[in-house]
Amino acid sequence: MGRIKIKKIKLNSNKISNKIVLISDTHYSSKKDLIKLNNILDQIKKLNPNYICVLGDICDQAKIFDEEVLIDWFSKLALISKVIVVYGNHDLSNYKKKTSCLNEQFFNRIKSINNVELLDNQSKCIDNICFVGLKFDYDYYYKYGENYKKFIKLYNEVVQELNNNNYNILLTHSPIALTQDGVINKLNDYKNIDLVLSGHMHGGLMPDFLRPIFKTRGLVGPNKHRLFVKYAYGNFKIENINFMVSSGVTKLSNVSKLNFFDKLYSPEIVEIEINNNDNFDNENKNVLK
């Protein structure tokens, strides 16, 4: 495992001042992953955020893992600050058998942890921040290939309007459909979305030393999507809406035939500092811990 990379993002807002930490794609499968998770936990404690957003693919396969380890980890995470969770595609599937599968018992236990919110096509508004969490089913990922029309349909069923007085954050595991040309302006009240948080792309498996050259692009996308995908990583804007796509804690999951290369990549935590100050400069930094 490489050193943990803390990506620091600074954003302006005339609505709030807040600090949010984002993690995605832990892909937990066995106790050997616990060292990595505990190191992530220690770093988040030091960052001391107001909110922690967990962007799905918590487990590598829906029912093949030690539940108690993850329940204990989430309980400790929730002692730091409020935790907002959404589902990813691996949370809904038996990846090796290529079948739909949801461990309802596990996610019901996650929901029952004090200070944890699991958003299942729901919103949660707290202190002028509104988190909107989308959950797409197995077919969306594996049958329809993250079809943008399916994305628009689900979003518009979940969101009718957004309060402009709130800082509205959309949490969706994958950015693939949403970042296609012309999709975002087909969403209900899209101009009131302030920030979109995603994972899923694993940074396009782009080595860190090439990132300054390729910026948001990746070498490959997940689920058989095209090479050199345009929005695989980082902080960018579409229709004046801020996006942050994390490369995740795990780049190559245990079900991948190339898993042994995962140690070449650094697990990532994203720290997003939102400041209510028009003179606050946008910065984008990576820090290794």
Dist. CA 2–CA 166, nearest whole Å: 38
The answer to whether residues 18 and 9 touch, using CB atoms and an 8 Å cutoff, is: no
Residue burial 256-275, b: 16+ Cβ < 10 Å; e: rest = beebeebeebbbbbbbbbbb
Residue burial 201-221, b: 16+ Cβ < 10 Å; e: rest = bbbbbbebeebeebebbbebb
The domain total for the chain is: 1
- 257-262: long-range pairs with CB below 8 Å, 24+: 262/1
Dist. CA 266–CA 271, nearest whole Å: 15
Q: HSE (CB half, 13 Å, CA atoms) of 62?
A: 22
- Domain containing 83 — which CATH number? 3.60.21.10
The answer to whether residues 116 and 83 touch, using CB atoms and an 8 Å cutoff, is: yes
Residue burial 26-57, b: 16+ Cβ < 10 Å; e: rest = bbbbeeebbebbebbbebbeebebbbbbbbbb
Per-residue pLDDT of the chain (289 residues; tens, 9 = 90+): 568 889 999 999 999 999 999 999 998 877 777 888 999 999 999 999 999 999 999 987 766 667 888 999 999 999 999 999 999 988 887 766 567 877 888 899 999 999 999 999 999 999 999 999 999 999 999 899 999 999 999 999 999 999 999 999 999 999 999 999 999 999 999 999 999 999 998 887 777 777 888 888 887 777 665 677 899 889 999 999 999 999 888 755 555 544 544 556 688 999 999 998 754 445 565 555 5
Give, for 168, the enclosing helix (H) or strand (E): strand 167-171
136 contacts: CB under 8 Å, gap ≥ 6: 87, 89, 146, 150, 151, 154, 172, 173, 174
Give residue for tokens 């949801």: 102
Give residue for tokens 């984002």: 22
Q: Which domain holds residue 215?
A: 5-288
The pLDDT, as a whole number, for residue 287 is 56
Phi and psi for 27 in degrees, rounded to 5? 50, 50
The pLDDT, as a whole number, for residue 257 is 47
Q: HSE (CB half, 13 Å, CA atoms) of 73?
A: 23
The first and second tokens of residue 168, run together, are 């509205």
